[in-house]
Amino acid sequence: MKPINKLWQSWMWGLLFPLIVLNCWIVLLIFEYFRSLITVFILATLLSFVLDYPVRLLRRYGMKRNSAIVLVSALTVLVLLIIALTLVPIIFQQLNELATRLPTWIKSGIDQIETFHQWAESRNLPINVSGLTSQLSDRISTQLQGLMGQILSFVLGAAGSIADMLLTLLLTFYLLLHGEYLWDDFFGLLPLKIRRNLRESLKRNFHNYYIGQATLAMLMGASLIVAYLILRVPFGLLFGLIIGLMTLIPFGALASIWTVGLLMILNNFGFGVTILIVSLIVEQVIESGIAPRILGGFTGLNPVWIIMSLLVAAKIGGLLGLLVAVPLASVIKNMIDISQSSPTGFNSAPQNGDLN
């Protein structure tokens, strides 16, 4: 009888993996079909996390929650309108000028490499970069064409983006008002032992992560815009805003700083190196001095797992996946730690509030 049971168990485990893969594949198909709606809902949820902070702050000063939500929502819409009327035209103008100047910068970078090659040849140095210039020209030209294609696609899809943005803002307002009941209904479908721990973990990780990342993004963007304007960096406003937005993604600030530095090096080697050094100093001051005080190391994730979660999330959800990868991975880690630390699995921890 025992050999039969062992054989049955081996068959069960053998069938479990294909079933998991099949279910994951079906979930991915559903996600792809409803991608736009899921994107709007997740973005609205993330915005509600961030906007709930000033709402709670106003409630501490005696304002009623509904009044605080209306005030914060009105101010948010006002800020977005100001940005749309002032910064957006400037950003598109600088993007157009950058696309016009990039071929000249590429040629300048190739000329600098050729000059370095001639200098090394005149001193009989064993350095040969003659083949690098053609490869650099072809590769950068290809990337430039891809970038221009993406910008064109973005402009052509602006109407749909505006509709999605309006829907996102409307859903954000609804989640601020009635999100508590929505999450109550959702978590009510889960077992009690999982419900309370999962709810608290989601609230802590997502809320704190996006409050911290939004604060760091504003600090990074504002600091670099000021530094670039002082140094008279071409397209300083555009580069500072891009780096600030990329700060929302782990390692995004560092990657965008290196990209901007390399672009400036193509134009002028000495000036580009100076910009790169200044940008890295600002990034290190914020990341090492300010970020730990804001984020507090709440994720508890190994950097290797952070990178892995970013790669998997980017493959599944693109940019949206990058935005939710780290807090979601941290939630999964917390739930695993809770299940391992408790002899009965998920215990009934106290429920400290809703997600909003």
Residues 71 and 100: their CA atoms lie apart, in Å, by 42
Please, are residues 325 and 301 in contact by the beta-carbon 8 Å criterion? no
Q: Which runs of E-coded beta strand occur in 59-142?
A: none
Domain end residue (candidates: 189, 206, 229): 189
Q: Which residue has the tokens 């990657």?
A: 255
pTM for the predicted model, two decimal places: 0.68
Residue 326 located in a structural domain:
yes
Q: Using CA atoms of 43, 44, 50, 52 in order, give the dihedral in degrees to the nearest 10.
A: -160
Quickly count helices (H) and strands (E) in the chain: 11, 0
Tell whether 296 and 184 lie within a shared domain.
no
Burial class (CB in 10 A: 0-12, 13-18, 19+), 270: exposed
Tell whether 181 and 251 lie within a shared domain.
no
Can you tell me whether residue 305 is helix, strand or coil? helix
Please, are residues 290 and 219 in contact by the beta-carbon 8 Å criterion? yes
Tell whether 43 and 181 lie within a shared domain.
yes
Q: Using CA atoms of 98, 99, 100, 101 in order, give the dihedral in degrees to the nearest 10.
A: 50
Looking at residue 354, its pLDDT comes to: 46
Q: Where are the alpha helices (DSSP H) in 34-64?
A: 35-60
Residue 137's H or E segment, with its range, is helix 130-156
Residue 18 located in a structural domain:
no
Looking at residue 291, its pLDDT comes to: 67
Residue 148 located in a structural domain:
yes
Looking at residue 132, its pLDDT comes to: 56
Residues 130 and 110: their CA atoms lie apart, in Å, by 10
The total of other beta-carbon atoms located within 10 Å of residue 130's CB is 12
Residue 278 located in a structural domain:
yes
Tell whether 233 and 258 lie within a shared domain.
yes
Tell whether 149 and 200 lie within a shared domain.
no
Looking at residue 226, its pLDDT comes to: 92
Tell whether 91 and 163 lie within a shared domain.
yes
Domain end residue (candidates: 172, 189, 206): 189
Tell whether 200 and 316 lie within a shared domain.
yes
Residues 99 and 77: their CA atoms lie apart, in Å, by 31
Residue 182 located in a structural domain:
yes
The total of other beta-carbon atoms located within 10 Å of residue 303's CB is 9
Tell whether 50 and 172 lie within a shared domain.
yes
Residues 242 and 221: their CA atoms lie apart, in Å, by 8
The token duo for 148 is 């221009």
Residue 351 located in a structural domain:
yes
Looking at residue 117, its pLDDT comes to: 67
Residues 327 and 205: their CA atoms lie apart, in Å, by 5
Tell whether 256 and 172 lie within a shared domain.
no
Domain end residue (candidates: 132, 164, 189): 189
Quote the number of domains for the chain: 2
Q: Using CA atoms of 292, 315, 24, 8 in order, give the dihedral in degrees to the nearest 10.
A: -80
Tell whether 232 and 279 lie within a shared domain.
yes
Residues 159 and 330: their CA atoms lie apart, in Å, by 36
pLDDT in single tens digits along all 356 residues of the chain = 445 555 555 666 666 667 777 777 787 787 777 777 887 888 888 888 778 888 888 888 888 888 888 898 899 889 888 887 888 788 878 877 877 777 777 777 777 777 776 777 676 666 665 555 556 556 665 665 555 555 555 544 544 567 777 888 888 888 888 877 777 777 777 777 677 777 777 777 777 777 778 888 888 999 999 999 999 888 888 888 888 888 888 778 888 898 888 888 877 888 888 999 999 999 888 877 776 666 555 555 667 777 787 788 777 777 777 777 878 887 777 777 777 665 555 554 444 444 45
Tell whether 179 and 89 lie within a shared domain.
yes
Residue 135 located in a structural domain:
no
Burial class (CB in 10 A: 0-12, 13-18, 19+), 231: middle
Residues 334 and 343: their CA atoms lie apart, in Å, by 16
Please, are residues 72 and 55 in contact by the beta-carbon 8 Å criterion? yes
Tell whether 198 and 180 lie within a shared domain.
no
Looking at residue 167, its pLDDT comes to: 83
Q: In this predicted model, what pLDDT tens digit does every residue of 64-116 receive, in sequence order?
A: 888 888 898 899 889 888 887 888 788 878 877 877 777 777 777 777 777 77
Q: Which domain holds residue 89?
A: 34-107+141-189
Please, are residues 209 and 298 in contact by the beta-carbon 8 Å criterion? yes
- Ramachandran angles phi, psi of 191, nearest 5°: -60, 150
Residue 255 located in a structural domain:
yes
